[in-house]
Structure 1
Amino acid sequence: MRATIIWTFIVLITLVLTLEAAAQGWTLRPHSDGDLQRLLPLAESVIISDKKVIVKHTSAYLPYKDERDFAQTAQNISTIFKLTAPLNPIRKQDVLLYRFTLKDTATTQATLLWIGFPDGSTQLSLTAETLQSDGINTLHDLQQQWNTQLQALGIQSNWNVMIQGNIDADTSSQQPGLSPSLQLNVTNSLHAQELARYQDANSLSISYHSTIVEESAADTQQKMNLQVAVHRDSITGQQRITIATPAISIAY
């Protein structure tokens, strides 16, 4: 009887702690892994409003000869992703495009783009975004599902993770910036070393190499795989931070 009471007490304590952790911010379920999980604690420590999380995969895929060939590949993609392909692609000048909605809920939006360029090259892009804490685990689940589906197409997944939102900064400051404590937090929590920085009147961008971040930017010899940027609204003075691996690919 006593053992039963103790066990019940432990279960209740565990449940309370779990609920408290979920209420405090954006968290992934236990045992989740990846760059999204690594960036979330840092973002949660500095972002105070308008939080947004985006995960993207972009890669080249099979070249095409003509519109019929492009449509056939679109059909194959739609089969793997369990979608219904439109009969004809959208044509914008000399570019062909199929756009699929993968998810559209109150917490999460996700799309797939299959793009054909005039030279016959192509691009496959998957994007999922959430503005709600309830959507974080959904994004993670989509990543896992897409990893399998991309593998079925013979594609190695290449994830771009970005978290963006407003920070509590000195709105009277004439320059955007990262506080010394935040820069130290980036360095320590993500085991990051600064590689380069760029600054103008309203923006600051710092590139890092992190020893624990999975994704690496393929187009740099400096092994940049982490980027943090702050943009200051010239009218309101509000500062917005963007934290990304391996690089920021949205407006900051």
Structure 2
Amino acid sequence: MSKFWTQTLIGVTIIGLFFGWIRHVDAQAEQDAQLLLNEAKPFIQSDYKVTFKYTGYYGTCDGSDSKIMTAGASLSHELGVKESNNQVLPSQPAIFTIRSEVEPGAVMTLTVASPVGQSACYAVVRLDASGHVDQDHLLKWQEQMSTRLKDQGIPGNWNVMMQGNAASDVISSQSNPKEFLKDLAHTYKGNVVESYEDDTTYSLSLASTAFEGFITSGKHKVNVQIALHQDTTSGLWRLTVGTPVITMEY
């Protein structure tokens, strides 16, 4: 994980924890994930990828490289990360990263870092999986990880995303990519509260009572984001969905 993305995730966490912009009910996290994935499947090709990401506050490290590494090693043990490849990345502050294959096609990454000028430590637990991994296994992993993180007293929130090429039969039946997104938004029972478009990208932010997790953007509650981006070389449309938001490149 690059320093840029790690720092971005830490920034989002600080906003959520201290300004109340992010809310999530633990008991609903797995239900939100299941709903997001199930409803998107008719709209996406089977070679998609799924990302589960939990970001939370993990005590104080006093900006010390050694304390960050110690905190990371301790947390990795408590979370049951067995195979590892940890390192201090060549940046300031120090970043602890450890990776483990959960099962073929699914890799877990734990990152522990501290923002510049702060004593706090933050943990990011991430699972990247291919669409060929059994979805029930992924949801079970999320449930177990939620319990372990709660046991460690790490407050935070889940972010779940799915990305792959849009189903060709579905998008080809639409004369306008906006209609494709409109149909998906309807599937999520979402009301559009924000939108963006340019020559190759269309995205919608939705408020949906079907989901529990949300962020507040301006005056709006956002539960789901959906986006289409066209590859200018292949002409294919890439679909990305996320709850409560998308934090990967479209």
- Residues 69 and 48 from structure 1, CA distance in 2 versus in 1: closer, same or farther, beyond 3 angstroms? closer
Higher relative contact order (CA 8 A, sep 6+): 2
In 1, Cα distance between the equivalents of 2:182 and 2:134?
28
Alignment of 1:215-234 (within 5 A): 215-218=213-216, 220-234=218-232
In 2, Cα distance between the equivalents of 1:122 and 1:33?
26
Alignment of 1:29-48 (within 5 A): 33-48=30-45
In 1, Cα distance between the equivalents of 2:225 and 2:86?
39
Aligned residue for 2:7?
A: none
Q: Which has the larger radius of gyration?
A: 1
- Residues 141 and 69 from structure 1, CA distance in 2 versus in 1: closer, same or farther, beyond 3 angstroms? same
Paired residue secondary structure (2:142): helix
Q: 2:241 aligns with which of 222, 227, 243?
A: 243
Alignment of 1:63-212 (within 5 A): 63-65=60-62, 66-83=64-81, 89-119=87-117, 120-167=119-166, 168=168, 169-170=171-172, 177-179=177-179, 183-187=182-186, 189-212=187-210
Aligned residue for 1:25?
A: none
Q: Which amino acid aligns with 1:64?
A: C
- Residues 63 and 193 from structure 1, CA distance in 2 versus in 1: closer, same or farther, beyond 3 angstroms? same
Q: 1:52 aligns with which of 40, 49, 52?
A: 49
- Residues 213 and 88 from structure 1, CA distance in 2 versus in 1: closer, same or farther, beyond 3 angstroms? closer
Q: Tell whether the 8 Å contact from 1:108 to 1:135 is kept in structure 2 after alignment.
A: no
Indicate the RMSD between aligned Cα atoms, in angstroms.
2.8
- Tell me the TM-score normalised to structure 2 length: 0.76
In 1, Cα distance between the equivalents of 2:110 and 2:37?
24
Paired residue secondary structure (1:134): coil
Identity across matched positions, percent: 25
Instruction: Work out the number of aligned pairs and report it.
Output: 217
Which ranges of structure 1 fall in alignment gaps of 5 or more residues? 1-31
Q: Tell whether the 8 Å contact from 1:42 to 1:186 is kept in structure 2 after alignment.
A: no
> In the TM superposition, what is the alpha-carbon distance from 1:36 to its structure 2 partner?
1.8
In 2, Cα distance between the equivalents of 1:88 and 1:109?
14
For residues 62-90 of structure 1, give each alpha carbon's deviation from its aligned partner in whole angstroms, at most 9, with x where no partner exists: 23222333233224313311347989850
> In the TM superposition, what is the alpha-carbon distance from 1:44 to its structure 2 partner?
1.2
In 1, Cα distance between the equivalents of 2:72 and 2:134?
28
